[in-house]
């Protein structure tokens, strides 16, 4: 699978609205056949930073970056950001989340 983490530093005046600003993009990406998950979180240390954790089947990421909703997001989102997003993108073995071996919840 392709596992991707992206950090978005949002301008303070748009931080509270960010989930709504990216809602259409989020919903369209989650509906893609190769998408495994596409989840946003807000940093507890920096209220202007959002972290996107996403994964695609091995052949799904290429279709994602060529989609109309991706191109639209890449054209519209920069106006809301303080800086270019930072990304880690890796191909890893597996098809989803594993259980944490160091902790068991009964």
- Asked whether residue 98 is domain-assigned, the answer is no
Which CATH number goes with the domain that contains 8? 3.30.70.100
Q: Residue 79, CB half-sphere, CA atoms under 13 Å: how many?
A: 6
Structure tokens at 49: 């930073």
What's residue 95's pLDDT?
Answer: 87
- Asked whether residue 102 is domain-assigned, the answer is no
Gap between the Cα atoms of 53 and 4, Å rounded: 6
All residues at 6 or more sequence positions from 83 whose CB lies less than 8 Å from its CB, including other chains: 9
pLDDT tens track of the chain, all 106 residues?
999 999 999 999 999 999 999 999 999 999 999 999 999 999 999 999 999 999 999 877 778 888 999 999 999 999 999 999 999 999 999 989 999 999 999 8
- Asked whether residue 43 is domain-assigned, the answer is yes
> Domain limits at 84?
2-91
């Amino acid at each position: 699978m392709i596992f991707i983490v992206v950090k978005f530093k949002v301008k303070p005046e748009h931080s509270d609205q960010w989930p709504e600003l990216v809602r259409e993009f989020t919903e369209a990406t989650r509906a893609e056949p190769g998408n495994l998950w596409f989840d946003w979180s807000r940093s507890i240390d920096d209220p202007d930073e959002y972290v996107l954790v996403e994964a695609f089947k091995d052949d799904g990421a290429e279709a994602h970056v060529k989609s109309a909703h991706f191109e639209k997001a890449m054209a519209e989102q920069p106006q809301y950001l303080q800086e270019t997003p930072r990304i880690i993108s890796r191909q890893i073995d597996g098809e989803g989340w594993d259980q944490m071996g160091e902790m068991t919840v009964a």
